Amino acid sequence: MYGLPPNFDYSIFVGRVVEQVTFMQYMVWIVFDHNLSIAIESSYSHQSCPSDDEDKVIDVPPEQSTLMQLTGKVVESAEAENPKTLVLHFQGGQVFKCFDDSQAYECFKIVNKGKETIV
């Protein structure tokens, strides 16, 4: 809905370890170490293998998911693919994307040490 802030510091994700992936009725939470998390209410994609060419968009709530494979993985880099897409690259080649694809509703929220960035 709002897009990623132009001055957002993507480095907050680098070196963070995924500790928990939680599925709820209308939300998916990815919790990292050091009080960092992403709450997804819209859609995302997850390439679990570097050879995956397809970037399949998955709506929340997912019917099935490979996100559990991120547990214990470390973020190597983070970036904005465009103002509406957050991209996290993990050790081993996994790629997670979170999309701001709704004009009417908030799509995801990043919480870093209690400070919220709503997208």
pLDDT score for 55: 76
Of 57, 61, 95, the closest CA to residue 76 belongs to 95
pLDDT score for 1: 85
Q: Which tokens in the block code for residue 60? A: 């929340």
pLDDT score for 50: 73
Mean pLDDT by 10 residues, the chain (119 residues): 94 98 97 98 92 82 94 98 96 96 95 97
pTM, whole model, 2 decimals? 0.95
CATH code linked to domain 10-118: 3.20.190
pLDDT score for 53: 65
Quick check: bond before 83 cis, omega within 30? no
